[in-house]
Amino acid sequence: DTGVSQDPRHKITKRGQNVTFRCDPISEHNRLYWYRQTLGQGPEFLTYFQNEAQLEKSRLLSDRFSAERPKGSFSTLEIQRTEQGDSAMYLCASSPGRGSSYNEQFFGPGTRLTVL
Amino acid sequence: DAKTTQPPSMDCAEGRAANLPCNHSTISGNEYVYWYRQIHSQGPQYIIHGLKNNETNEMASLIITEDRKSSTLILPHATLRDTAVYYCIVRAGGTSYGKLTFGQGTILTVHP
């Protein structure tokens, strides 16, 4: 078990381009979360999956953002027509949903997006 | 989820105990206190959580006041690697999925 992994770790793109990030949670964790963190701020919740079902989306997740978890394992976060305001660290976390640490969230290292 | 208030920054000498306070005066009966920390350029890391009893694990101790309106995270022997942003978060427990609402946290600097 190597923890939550995210790919890529860094992404630089031009305004208007589409980007996609991937998150691989800890195996058998059925809960998966995406957060966004801008400089000097704490992470902000974006969306949550339980298995393959997306159960909550923040108002921060505009129409340009879409997230999927097709088989209840890895997840992708896509941003269409990127804007400079999308520049941030995108964090993924997973939790087991059962057992003694059922609600503890394990975070990945994040993907740092820079929109030029 | 209840709002928390933390000092923006604190200093601590290496080897000393670091005591990080958190106020959560509007906490409700089913809400837990969680602490996470974030070392520079890494994702947040879970430290400890509690409901009303004091808790201790290999990383830290959590002291919750009797009225549950405030708590203190204690790192008993701080090291340079404990330099990080520490977040106090209050959220519902039980089987709720528990999205985390982060504030700005406390920047703890441990110096030699």
DSSP-derived secondary structure for B2-66 = ---B--SEEEEETTS-EEEEEE-TT--TTEEEEEEEE-TTS--EEEEEESSS-EE-SS-EEEE-T
Interface contact B97-A31, CB threshold 8 A:
yes
Q: Hey, which bits of A25-85 come out as E strands? A: 31-37, 44-50, 53-57, 65-68, 75-79
Q: Is A4 on the interface with B (CB under 8 A)?
A: yes
Q: Is B5 on the interface with A (CB under 8 A)?
A: no
Residue A83 distance to chain B (closest CA, Å): 23
Angle at A104 between CA B91 and CA A65, to 5 degrees: 80
More confident residue, A101 or B72: B72
Torsions phi, psi of B95, nearest 5?
-95, 5
d(CA B96, CA B63): 24
Query: Mean pLDDT, to the nearest integer, of A68-96?
Result: 95
Report the Cα A48 to chain-centroid distance in Å.
Answer: 9
Contacts of B103 in chain A (CB under 8 A): 42
Contacts of B22 in chain A (CB under 8 A): none
Query: Nearest residue of A to residue B107 by CA position?
Result: A40
Give the HSE-up count for residue B69: Cα atoms under 13 Å, Cβ half-sphere: 3
d(CA B18, CA B11): 8
d(CA A31, CA A49): 6
Q: Most A CBs within 10 Å: which of B47, B100, B101, B107, as the mutation test of the A interface? A: B100
Q: Is A11 on the interface with B (CB under 8 A)?
A: no
Name the pLDDT band for A42 (thresholds 50, 70, 90): very high
pLDDT tens profile A3-20: 999 999 999 999 999 999
Beta-carbon pairs below 8 A across chains A and B: 52
Question: How far lies A71's CA from each of A28, A51, A75, in Å?
Answer: 12, 7, 9
Query: Nearest residue of B to residue A56 by CA position?
Result: B99
More confident residue, A100 or A30: A30
Query: Mean pLDDT, to the nearest integer, of A58-66?
Result: 90
Other C-beta atoms lying within 10 Å of the C-beta of residue B17:
12
Query: Mean pLDDT, to the nearest integer, of A38-47?
Result: 93
| pLDDT, mean over chain A | 92
| Secondary structure (3-state) at A54 | strand
pLDDT the model gives residue A28: 85
CA quadruple B44, B103, B85, A96: dihedral, nearest 10: -20
d(CA B68, CA A34): 30
